[in-house]
Homo-oligomer: A and B are copies of this chain.
Amino acid sequence: MTDTTGYDIADALGLLLRRGTRARLYTHLTEGLGEAVDELTYPVLSGLARTGPLSAADLGREIGLDRTTVTRRADRLETAGLVQRQPDPVDGRATLLTLTHQGHGTVAVTRQRFVTAIEDSLASWPEADARTFARGLRRFVDEGPFAPQRD
């Protein structure tokens, strides 16, 4: 019999990467967190959480957006009190984007919601299967064909 492993994974990933899936996910994760947090601004927020204080240009490189786009999204988040700007003490040209306390809290909430949703869906799995799957997924994503930028 022929091996369908690649096709099975392709189907599953295809579904996962669909627009509707992403939209539903964002809607659920950011619900009730204020209108400043949406599918557009969240990557700025979570990028900052990942990297720590960063200039708009650097953050743009990190998340694959133009510097000016990052600036304007950060404007909204700053107005909402989730992000703060401060002059870089080391470089007088640069402005560092930083998460406020509330900003950290917002990221923590969305991340926790994400984890909870995953754990709920894994609740019916034998624990060993769940662990195996988690390890496999991590490996697949980390060394996968299109995951991190290696350049």
CA distance A130 to B136 in the complex (A): 8
Q: Render A2-37 as a binary contact track against B, CB cut-off 8 A, 1 for contact.
A: 001111111111111111111111001000000000
CA distance A23 to B17 in the complex (A): 11
Q: Which residues of B contact A129 (CB under 8 A)?
A: 136
- A16's nearest neighbour on chain B, judged by CB, is B141
Q: Does B14 lie within 8 Å of A114, measured CB to CB?
A: yes
Q: Does B118 lie within 8 Å of A6, measured CB to CB?
A: yes
In the complex, A63 has a CB within 8 A of chain B: yes
Rounded to whole Å, the gap between the CB of A24 and the closest CB of chain B is 5
**Other contacts beyond A5-B134, A13-B114, A17-B25: 10, CB < 8 A:** A4-B134, A9-B134, A9-B138, A12-B137, A12-B140, A15-B148, A16-B141, A19-B64, A121-B144, A133-B133
